[in-house]
């Protein structure tokens, strides 16, 4: 558990309205990591990163944290069947853009840029108990009935984590859809494990709001199903128009994913047999 108090990490305030709400609703000053997943707490993920990887009595382990992201293939391009996939960007202490708050913000998905395909590939590895597969659209290329080039499947990383770690994270991701920010998926035709994400978009002037105070949002849900014996992984990212209303990954993106799951359930007999 972590202290659910003032939302400060290493002297820096982390904007996270969920923490005071959680402390009040549960009459506690502690929060578990799984509950941090449930409420999508920036504070919980930032504190875990800073406590375990920032400068402390064990030394500065920031580079190890960043190295892990590259092990997860979240910081590099990979060959894909379609051209034009952007290369993710992850700051490091060697760049002039690095700040003291970057370690914590990277932990909850800020200060970086990643394609939906990179994020989906990572979650697909969790569904595979740590085995990361290269995504592909074309299995092989033929000419006059002969295979001239094989494209996949191929392994990117045999084990980004242990089976036990993958199972633990899956348990947390199931809690997100059953009791947390993605509970719109609770009534889906099969169990789902996944995570919501919400970020602000910027205007051309670099600001996060226009002159009327309207923001642009990017809402995402990513996960896999059935949660305990996955057959599919899925990601849905929705970009909002300028709005004064709240826009969350647990809203339209999660609802869209539920629609896909329910339709697949009616088409895939194996999925129906595995569903609840």
The CATH number of the domain holding residue 186 is 3.40.710.10
Nearest residue to 94 via CA among 126, 134, 71, 63: 63
Q: How many whole angstroms from its chain centre is CA 55?
A: 26
**Pick from 79, 111, 143: which residue ends a domain?**
111
pLDDT category, 273, cuts 50, 70, 90?
low
The mean predicted confidence, pLDDT, of the chain is 88
243 to 64, 170, 219: CA distances (angstroms): 39, 33, 13
Distance CA 101, CA 97 (A): 11
**Do 194 and 261 lie in a common domain?**
yes
Q: So what's the pLDDT on residue 276?
A: 47
At residue 189, the 3 state secondary structure works out as coil
DSSP lists the bridge partners of residue 198 as 219
Q: So what's the pLDDT on residue 19?
A: 77
**Do 96 and 189 lie in a common domain?**
no
φ, ψ of residue 140 to 5 degrees: the values are -155, 165
Question: Does residue 138 lie in a domain region?
Answer: no
**Do 187 and 100 lie in a common domain?**
no
Question: Does residue 128 lie in a domain region?
Answer: no
- Per the CB < 8 A criterion, the answer to whether 98 and 106 are in contact is no
Question: Does residue 209 lie in a domain region?
Answer: yes
Mean pLDDT lowest for which of 68-77, 208-217, 266-275?
A: 266-275
**Do 186 and 261 lie in a common domain?**
yes
More confident residue, 202 or 9: 202
Q: So what's the pLDDT on residue 29?
A: 78
Q: So what's the pLDDT on residue 120?
A: 97
Q: So what's the pLDDT on residue 37?
A: 95
Question: Does residue 117 lie in a domain region?
Answer: no
Number of domains in the chain: 2
Q: So what's the pLDDT on residue 5?
A: 60
**Do 101 and 191 lie in a common domain?**
no
Question: Does residue 140 lie in a domain region?
Answer: no
Query: Taking residues 129-134, what's their average pLDDT?
Result: 97
Distance CA 260, CA 201 (A): 26
Distance CA 241, CA 212 (A): 13
Query: Taking residues 102-111, what's their average pLDDT?
Result: 92
Query: Taking residues 245-258, what's their average pLDDT?
Result: 93
Q: Does residue 194 have a pLDDT over 80?
A: yes
φ, ψ of residue 201 to 5 degrees: the values are -90, 160
**Do 269 and 166 lie in a common domain?**
yes
Q: What contacts 107, CB < 8 A, 6 or more positions away?
A: 45, 46, 48, 49, 50
Supply the range of the domain harboring residue 203: 162-274
Question: Does residue 72 lie in a domain region?
Answer: yes
Q: Does residue 114 have a pLDDT over 90?
A: yes
Q: Does residue 11 have a pLDDT over 90?
A: no
């Amino acid at each position: 558990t972590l202290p659910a108090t003032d939302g400060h990490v290493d002297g820096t305030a982390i904007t996270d309205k969920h923490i005071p709400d959680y402390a009040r609703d549960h009459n506690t000053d502690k929060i578990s990591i799984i509950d941090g997943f449930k409420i999508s707490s920036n504070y919980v993920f930032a504190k875990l990163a800073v406590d375990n990887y920032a400068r402390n009595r064990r030394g500065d382990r920031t580079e190890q944290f960043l190295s892990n992201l590259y092990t997860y293939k979240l910081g590099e391009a990979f060959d894909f069947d379609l051209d034009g996939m952007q290369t993710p960007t992850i700051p490091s202490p060697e760049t002039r853009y690095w700040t003291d708050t970057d370690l914590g913000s990277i932990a909850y998905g800020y200060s970086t840029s990643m394609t939906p395909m990179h994020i989906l590939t990572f979650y697909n590895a969790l569904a595979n108990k740590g085995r990361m597969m290269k995504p592909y659209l074309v299995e092989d290329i033929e000419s006059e009935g002969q295979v001239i080039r094989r494209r996949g499947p191929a392994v990117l990383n045999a084990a980004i984590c242990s089976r036990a770690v993958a199972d633990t994270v899956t348990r947390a991701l199931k809690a997100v859809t059953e009791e947390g920010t993605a509970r719109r998926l609770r009534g889906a035709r099969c169990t789902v494990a996944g995570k919501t994400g919400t970020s602000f978009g910027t205007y051309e002037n670099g600001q996060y709001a226009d002159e009327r105070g309207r923001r642009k949002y990017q809402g995402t849900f990513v996960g896999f199903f059935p949660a305990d014996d996955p057959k599919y992984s899925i990601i849905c990212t929705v970009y909002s128009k300028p709005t004064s209303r709240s826009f969350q990954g647990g809203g339209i993106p999660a609802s869209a994913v539920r629609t896909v799951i329910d339709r697949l359930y009616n088409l895939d007999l194996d999925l129906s047999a595995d569903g609840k």
